[in-house]
Structure 1
Amino acid sequence: MTGGVLLTNTTTVSSYAYHAHGRYEAIADSFLYGDHAYPINSTDKSRVRLDILTPMMEELDAMQRTYSRVFVARFDLRLPSGTAVETGNEWIRQLFKKLRERLKSKHRRPESITSPIREFAYGWVREKEKAKQVHYHCWIALPHRQVRSIGTANCGLGGAITEVWCDLTGGKPSLVEFPGGEYIILRGEPETLEEPVWRISYLAKERGKFSTGQGDRLFSTSKLRHKYPNT
């Protein structure tokens, strides 16, 4: 990959990088969103991709317009050995579809969630480091009044995620990992977003990303920002 023309956006300096199937814009300093500059998890060898981080930030912004207090958590998903990229991508699409169905249900949602959840946001990226199986880094944001913890692989929201992923893949609970880090975002207090953005910016790092050239998604998010646009 090679660098392109430098662009400036107040405190953010970005440049284009090119690969076999296109290009993307990346930053190495802070991420400016609205009137706030957020620290990002970048290194000299792996900057942060704006095409990934920006829509994820827009989803968090849409959640704040919907709920005054938002709970955010991270989790990681692995695939059984030999799983094709298109299969893994379809499984993760189905995961969030089935989670949405459960969270909205009066009877099938996790016991720790006392009432149906109508809106939530999420994002995922696909990665493959050297000599490692393809895996997915994910985040999810929900109303804090209904979700106070992600739980574990055996209970709560974490239990639902694990159960659905195991059903889809035919794998074991060890395919799901909860790396820690749970956050509460408060509407109108951008400093409460700093830690979540730092964690989510890791998902947008350059390292580990690859394109098949076959139209398979490298990342995706919910579409809450289209339902609740920032006007």
Structure 2
Amino acid sequence: MKYVSYQDYIEHFGEIFEVQAKPSGIHTAPLKAFIDELNFMLSKHSRVFLFRFDLRFADDNILTDNSKIITIFIRRLRRFIEPHYKTKDLAYSWARELEKAKHQHYHFVLMLDGNRINHPQSLCKKIRQIWFEISGGSPYWSKWYCFHRTDDNLRSAAVKHVSYIFKVRGKGYKPKQARDYGHSRMDTRR
């Protein structure tokens, strides 16, 4: 059973983060996994670039029965990022959603070395190209941050902004083979 919180904050390893839990509640385990990914990136890099965007399908009637399409997207994105930004450190979290209108989409948050990238302009072009080639759809740009590891205010703002993707609403409407959430698990790749 997934734990759902309706509180305006979450505690993780002694730190308190403000979150967007209302009105549907928030799944705490995947949110904490995202915070772990962010903290790992901050432990490796003095600055982190964090970018949240949504991936929509061209046809609103598309329903995938597994998570293969997001795996393909990540693989192609990695093939661009590693040589372009000269880094192998690509952390991410994603959420699969199917809202009341029954349009499946993905929320995605990407984290990179902020010393290698500080603006998403060329990254946006490549994300748009990759997602269009895979799905025929287009991304929606949400917000990006680039902050130093000592900037707790911006880090907290980024966590609050990203917490939206872990909301309960829109989750669970999937076949058994599909997942609601995914993470890069950077801390296991040391």
Asked if 1:196 is matched to 2:174, the reply is no
Match of 1:112 in 2: none
Q: Is this contact kept in 2: 1:36–1:190, CA < 8 A?
A: no
Structure 1 residue 31: Cα displacement: 1.2
- In structure 1, what is the Cα distance between the partners aligned to 2:149 and 2:47? 6
TM-score by length of 1: 0.76
Q: SS of the residue aligned with 1:95?
A: helix
Aligned length in residues = 188
Find the aligned partners of 1:140 and 1:163 in 2 and give their Cα distance.
16
Q: CA deviation at 1:197?
A: 0.7
The 5-angstrom pairing of residues 217-228 of structure 1 reads 217-228=179-190
CA distance in 1, matches of 2:70, 2:167: 20
How far the C-alpha of 1:134 sits from its partner, in A, is 0.4
Q: How far apart are 1:164 and its partner, in Å?
A: 0.7
Higher gyration radius (CA)? 1
After TM superposition, give the deviation of residue 102 of structure 1 in Å: 1.3
State the identity as a percent.
24
Contact preservation (8 Å) 2:65, 2:174: no
Shift of 1:165: 0.7
Give 1:158 deviation, angstroms: 0.6
| Deviation of 1:140 (Å) | 0.5
The answer to whether the 8 Å contact 2:46/2:115 transfers is: no
Please state if 1:157 is matched with 2:127.
Answer: no
| 1:33 maps onto 2:15 in alignment | no
Post-superposition offset of 1:188? 4.2
Residue in 1 that maps onto 2:79: 101
* Aligned residue identity for 1:217: R
Task: Report the aligned-residue RMSD.
Answer: 1.7
Shift of 1:185: 3.4
* Alignment-mate amino acid for residue 142 of structure 1: L
Instruction: Identify which of 67, 70, 78 aligns with 2:48.
Output: 70
For the residues of structure 1 that align with 2:14 and 2:141, how far apart are their CA atoms?
A: 32
Match of 1:9 in 2: none
> Counterparts of 1:84-99 in structure 2 under 5 Å?
84-86=63-65, 89-99=67-77
Give distance in 2, aligned partners of 1:70 and 1:220: 20
Contact 2:65–2:175 (8 Å) recurs in 1: no
SS across alignment from 2:118: coil
Q: Shift in Å at residue 132 of structure 1?
A: 3.4
Gap regions ≥5 residues in structure 1: 1-22, 110-114
Give 1:178's aligned residue. Answer: 141
Q: Measure, in 2, the Cα distance between the counterparts of 1:76 and 1:98.
A: 17
Superposed displacement of residue 83, structure 1: 2.3
What does the per-residue CA deviation read over 1:94-121, in whole Å, with 9 as the maximum and x for residues that have no partner? 111111111122xxx3xxxxx4122121
CA–CA separation in structure 2 for the residues paired with 1:91 and 1:142? 22
Do residues 166 (structure 1) and 132 (structure 2) align? yes
Equivalent residues of 2:47, 2:149 under 8 A apart: yes
Matched, 1:116 2:109: no
Question: Which residue does 1:205 correspond to in 2?
Answer: 167
> 1:65-119 deviations in whole A, cap 9, x for unaligned?
11011011111001232323236x21111111111111122xxx3xxxxx41221
Letter in 2 for 1:167: E
Q: Which residue of 2 aligns with 1:10?
A: none
